Structure 1
Amino acid sequence: MTTLNHHLPYTGSVPKVDRAQGALSTFAANAYLRLFVVVMAIAAGAAVLLMAIVLLLDLVVPILFANEIHALAALFPQTAG
């Protein structure tokens, strides 16, 4: 069986369904608002990632080096006096 010259029967025009335009559907239809939401989601993710890294360093550095001063001296030996 081949699909060449295979046509679907014409059924007429499809009736348009009117849908309620609520706040969310109006918001989703606007490309600039969708772009804003995507940019805000990326910024929020970056902020959460940054806070997680800072929290992890704040927890790990004292465990490895006993305190921040010893950590700085180990990481930057030229500044240790």
Structure 2
Amino acid sequence: MTTLNHQLPLTGSVPQVKRARGALATIAENAYLRLFAALVVIAAGATVLVIAIAMLLDLVVPLVFANEIHALAALFPQSAG
């Protein structure tokens, strides 16, 4: 007995069950949506990084340059706020 050119007899089409697909499954299938999702994640990370750096500078600059800031406030009282 050989298995070359062996075919199962056709008994009709097998019904396919459609599964509900979520958003992640749809994104994972489409290359353009994967690229867009990657760009959104990179942009969000860059935004968080910029905000974190600004907050860090807002905290560190007055500690390091406190004397200079007070001297400038004494020289330019109209701009001190």
For the criterion TM > 0.5, the same-fold answer is yes
2:35 aligned with 1:39:
no
| AA of the residue aligned to 1:28 | A
For 1:1-81, what aligned pairs fall within 5 Å after superposition? Answer: 20-24=19-23, 25-66=25-66, 69=69
The aligned counterpart of 1:11 is: none
TM-score under structure 2 normalisation?
0.55
Q: Select the structure of larger CA radius of gyration.
A: 2
Note the aligned Cα RMSD (angstroms).
2.7
CA separation of 1:67/1:45 partners in 2, compared to 1, >3 Å: closer, same or farther?
A: farther
Share of identical aligned residues, percent? 58
The answer for unaligned runs of 5 or more in structure 1 is 1-16, 73-81
TM-score under structure 1 normalisation?
0.55
CA separation of 1:43/1:60 partners in 2, compared to 1, >3 Å: closer, same or farther?
A: same
Deviations 1:18-55 (A, max 9, x none): 67250331221011111000001000000100001100
The aligned counterpart of 2:79 is: none
Aligned residues: 55
Q: What is the CA–CA distance in structure 1 between the aligned matches of 2:68 and 2:42, rounded to whole Å?
A: 31
Report the secondary structure of 1:20's partner residue.
Answer: coil
Decide whether the 8 Å contact of 1:62 with 1:68 is kept in 2: no
